[in-house]
Amino acid sequence: MSLDQFINDMPKVELHLHIEGSLEPELMFELAQRNKVAIPFKSVEEVRQAYNFSNLQDFLDIYYQGMSVLQTEQDFYDLTTAYLKRVAAENVMHTEIFFDPQGHTERGVAFGTVINGITRALEDGKNQLGVSSNLIMCFLRHLSEEKAFDTLKEALPYKDKILGVGLDSSEVGHPPAKFERVFAEARKEGFLIVAHAGEEGPPEYVWEALDGLKIDRMDHGNRSLEDPKLVQRIVDQGIALTVCPLSNLKLCVVKDMRLHPLKKMLDLGIKATVNSDDPAYFGGYMTANFNAVAGPLGLTRDDLLTLTKNAIDASFVSDADKAKMHQRVDKFALSA
């Protein structure tokens, strides 16, 4: 079996996916027409040409503009279903999905519209496609602490549908400490905690995410490697990192895939995982992300299996469900 085939067939787990970042240009156009929302592009090709970013903010500007076509519960259902169909075809067993409620409530779409559309699709995805999932609500860090508290309050009636809370959007200038009190409250309410840290922001932000927010898992974390004491802490605590190779390349977090820190993370004993972040904007889903690093970093089949097993261990599912997923991967490894 070729390495390509191995990557394609390997059962996978995704832990870092913004559902709004799976909005493909074709669906963006369809929803713009359906909802009579104006978008500043004439064609799908023109949209794709605009996806040239030199940093995180460049991308976020287009990402928030893109999500303006999402208006109704059916739109959120269609968006989520399209993502689940793509990853089911890539042998993804389980996915943990971020959504950005403030990206919608700030422009007048009700919280319930967003969450009901997404969760109805997740239930159908489990039943019809066999992809299990958890949902994580992110606070937009460029907005105020007060707005994050308002959003947490809005989420409470839907607590049974949301497993965790996270922190995303413009990192530099918006350290985790800004949201320490919101996350303390979220933790009290029983939510699991993740946060984007060390994507563009310095190692100090990663320390704050660990000590201040008390994260259960870290999103990105690339810049942790600049601080050996921080690496030791991450290894000792067994904190997993949700690494996103194509995102890192497209947002110029790394200059060249051969310089990507993923292999170094594994060598240091960090529980790294591979994820797609915003696949419609960065050029691919799970398989594309594994392919993007396998060659340039010289990853072995054992490395690829380790990455998947790390993702199973770092997922927010029961031990019994983790065991079932490990069995599927072990069976695949024996047959490959």
User: Which range of residues in 127-135, 157-165, 270-278, 281-289 is near Zn ion by CB under 5 A?
Assistant: 270-278
The site partner of 199 among Zn ion, ligand ADE, none (C-beta below 5 to 8 Å per kind) is ligand ADE
Residue 51 CB, shortest distance to ligand ADE, in Å, is 13
Judged by CB under 6 A, the chain residues 53 through 72 that form the site for ligand ADE are 56, 63
Judged by CB under 6 A, the chain residues 240 through 259 that form the site for ligand ADE are 247
CA distance 54 to 177: 27
CA distance 23 to 334: 36
Instruction: For ligand ADE, give the closer residue by CB, 81 or 248.
Output: 248
The site partner of 56 among Zn ion, ligand ADE, none (C-beta below 5 to 8 Å per kind) is ligand ADE
Burial 109-121 (b: 16+ CB within 10 A, else e): bebebbbbbbbbb
Instruction: For ligand ADE, give the closer residue by CB, 7 or 138.
Output: 138
Q: Token digits for 284?
A: 């691919």
CA distance 200 to 82: 30
Residue 317 CB, shortest distance to Zn ion, in Å, is 20
Residue 327 CB, shortest distance to ligand ADE, in Å, is 32
Query: If binding is defined by CB under 5 A, does position 277 make contact with Zn ion?
Result: yes
Q: Is the distance from CB of 278 to CB of 289 less than 8 angstroms? A: no
Residue 144 CB, shortest distance to Zn ion, in Å, is 21
Instruction: For ligand ADE, give the closer residue by CB, 18 or 94.
Output: 18
Residue 123 CB, shortest distance to ligand ADE, in Å, is 24
Which residue in the set 24, 90, 96, 199 belongs to the binding site for ligand ADE (CB under 6 A)? 199
Q: Token digits for 213?
A: 């927010």
Instruction: For ligand ADE, give the closer residue by CB, 147 or 328.
Output: 147
Catalytic residues: 199
Query: If binding is defined by CB under 6 A, does position 15 make contact with ligand ADE?
Result: no
Closest residue by Cα to residue 117 from 31, 14, 41:
31
Query: If binding is defined by CB under 6 A, does position 18 make contact with ligand ADE?
Result: yes
Residue whose entry in the numeric block shows the structure tokens 């040409």: 49
CA distance 74 to 202: 39
Q: Is the distance from CB of 47 to CB of 129 less than 8 angstroms? A: no
Instruction: For Zn ion, give the closer residue by CB, 47 or 197.
Output: 197
Spatial neighbors of 296 by CB under 8 A, at least 6 apart, are 256, 257, 258, 260
Query: If binding is defined by CB under 5 A, does position 14 make contact with Zn ion?
Result: no
Q: Total number of residues binding ligand ADE (CB under 6 A)? A: 11
CA distance 201 to 174: 9
CA distance 325 to 246: 25
Q: Is the distance from CB of 175 to CB of 183 less than 8 angstroms? A: no
Q: Could you give the angle at the alpha carbon of 287 between the alpha carbons of 167 and 297, nearest 5°?
A: 85
User: Which range of residues in 125-133, 152-160, 226-234, 274-282 is near Zn ion by CB under 5 A?
Assistant: 274-282
Using DSSP's 3-state secondary structure scheme, residue 39 falls into: coil
Instruction: For Zn ion, give the closer residue by CB, 90 or 277.
Output: 277
Instruction: For ligand ADE, give the closer residue by CB, 63 or 207.
Output: 63
> Would you give the distance in Å from CA 121 to the centre of its chain?
17
Judged by CB under 6 A, the chain residues 263 through 322 that form the site for ligand ADE are 277-278
Spatial neighbors of 113 by CB under 8 A, at least 6 apart, are 72, 73, 76, 104
- As beta bridge partners, residue 193 has 165
Q: Total number of residues binding Zn ion (CB under 5 A)? A: 1
The site partner of 73 among Zn ion, ligand ADE, none (C-beta below 5 to 8 Å per kind) is none
Query: If binding is defined by CB under 5 A, does position 200 make contact with Zn ion?
Result: no
Q: Token digits for 220?
A: 């990105």
Q: Which residues bind Zn ion (CB under 5 A)?
A: 277
Q: Which residues bind ligand ADE (CB under 6 A)?
A: 18, 21, 56, 63, 168-169, 196, 199, 247, 277-278
